[in-house]
Every structure is written in C-alpha cells, then in structure tokens.
C-alpha cells in the first residue's frame, strides 16, 4: 500500500528534517514546495521574483500557484509508491484541492508536529540555510562555514530575521492552523510533540504513521 503523508506544523517545527528522514527510509520522494519555490527564486524566473518578494515579507504564496506546482509534481512517475508532502497544504483551500488530486491514489495520512511558539521563535532566529542546496542548519554560537551535505555557504534566510519570524508565525496561526481542524476528524490524523530531540520526534513520527496505516477506519488498512 502506498504511503501518502502530509507533514503539518508551523515554521521551525522540524517538518523538513523529519520529512526527509522518513521519505529516505521508505524510498519515496519528499515533495517540498519550499525547495521548488527556492529553485524558481534562484533561477530568477518571473514567478520566482514574485515569490521572493512575498516570502521576504513573511507572507504565503497564493493558493493557485502552490496548487499548480503540487499538481505537476504528483503527476510524475516516482510517486507511484507514495510521497511525503512538506509545506503543502498550508490553507484549507489547498487541502480541499489536494483531496481532488488524490482521487485514485489512496488515503492521506496527516501528522501535525506541535511545538510551543517560544521555541519556534528561538529556532527560527538561530537557523542558517545553505545558499546552494537549501538544507537547514542550527546556529550553535560559532557559525559553521560550509553545508555538511554539499559544501555550500551557510547564510541566514531573509525570512528568518526577527521581525519576519513574528509575521510568519502570525500568518501561520491565521491561515494554516485551521488545517488541523480540517483534518482532525479523519481517522488518519495524528499529532506528535516536536519539542523533543530529533531522534525522539522521528520515532514518534514512525509510530504515528504505523498507527494511522493500521486504523481499521482507513480504506485498505492492514488488519
């Protein structure tokens, strides 16, 4: 049975790290809309320039643009055994559109990573990102010079500056938090504590996915 997983949670919750880890262990693609947008920004396309201006203000790219990006990505053959979606959906409108895109693909498992806001602000204000591949790195007092993955230069993201961090969290609460209510009634919804060490979060994520997959209310669930 294909594993179709959505990772929910605010900026700084660790969605990217955990999505990459789980996708690699299951041999399915991690689909990060943030990575796709950053590629467009780096390429200097018209869409990329518009997206950069929006993201630099701590706002979200339009539903129409994001739905189109994900639709194209889900049409590729490498998702036949499932996928891990990181950064989509972020609004109820996007979630509703995704339900339509999932016709014939099986059920969605939804995991919400919960982290207190004070911890989110700390993480975001001390986070660095590789200018080349986009991977995140924590600031530990002495900035690392190079990315462990590709050797690229590590810099602070423009949308991780203090004032923008606060705006990003406001935008999340206003527009994205209702997703939890949208998905909460589904038997495949789970919530985990993201304030724990990464290995503990990863273990809880695997347990949540297994429990949701085995839920008898889910179509095609294991018995």
Convert the pLDDT of each residue in 33-65 to its tens digit. 877 777 777 878 776 787 788 878 877 778 887
- State what percent of residues in the chain have pLDDT above 70: 87
- Out of 38, 52, 123, 127, pick the active-site residue: 127
Q: Residue range 179-192: average pLDDT?
A: 95
Q: How far is residue 42 from each of residues 4, 105, 107, 131, 168, measured CA to CA in Å? A: 29, 32, 34, 9, 21
Does the pLDDT at position 92 exceed 80? yes
Q: Report which of 55, 111, 66, 54 is spatially closest to residue 91, judged by C-alpha positions.
A: 66
- Out of 21, 90, 123, 190, pick the active-site residue: 90
Helix then strand then coil, % of the chain, to nearest 5: 50, 15, 35
What is the C-alpha separation between 169 and 94, in angstroms, rounded?
Answer: 19
How confident is residue 96, by pLDDT bands cut at 50, 70 and 90? very high
Active site residue 168: yes
- Out of 168, 184, 222, 223, pick the active-site residue: 168
CB 120 within 8 A of CB 100: no
| CATH class of domain segment(s) 3-115+163-214 | alpha beta
Active site residue 170: no
The structural domains of the chain, with segments of one domain joined by +, span: 3-115+163-214
Q: Which residues of 136-175 are buried (b: 16+ CB within 10 A; e: fewer)?
A: bbeeeeeeeeebeeeebebeebebbeeebbeebbebbeeb
Active site residue 200: no
- Out of 15, 21, 52, 123, pick the active-site residue: 15
Predicted structure pTM score = 0.75
- Confidence at residue 152, expressed as pLDDT on a 0 to 100 scale: 83
């Amino acid at each position: 049975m294909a594993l179709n997983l959505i990772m929910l949670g605010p900026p700084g919750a660790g969605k990217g790290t955990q999505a990459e880890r789980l996708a690699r262990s299951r041999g399915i693609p991690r689909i990060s809309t943030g990575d796709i947008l950053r590629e467009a920004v780096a390429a200097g396309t018209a869409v990329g320039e518009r997206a950069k201006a929006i993201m630099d203000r701590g706002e979200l790219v339009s539903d129409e643009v994001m739905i189109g990006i994900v639709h194209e990505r889900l049409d590729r053959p490498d998702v036949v055994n499932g996928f891990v979606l990181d950064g989509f959906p972020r609004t109820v409108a996007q979630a509703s559109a995704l339900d339509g895109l999932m016709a014939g693909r099986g059920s969605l498992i939804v995991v919400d990573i919960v982290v207190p806001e004070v911890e989110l602000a700390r993480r975001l204000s001390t986070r660095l990102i590789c200018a080349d591949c986009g991977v995140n790195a924590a600031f530990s007092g002495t900035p690392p010079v190079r990315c462990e993955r590709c050797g690229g230069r590590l810099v602070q993201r423009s949308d991780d500056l203090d004032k923008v961090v606060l705006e990003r969290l406001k935008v999340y609460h206003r527009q994205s938090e209702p997703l939890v209510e949208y998905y909460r009634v589904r038997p495949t919804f789970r919530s985990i504590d993201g304030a724990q060490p990464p290995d503990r979060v990863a273990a809880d994520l695997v347990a949540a996915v297994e429990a949701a997959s085995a839920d008898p209310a889910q179509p095609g669930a294991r018995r």
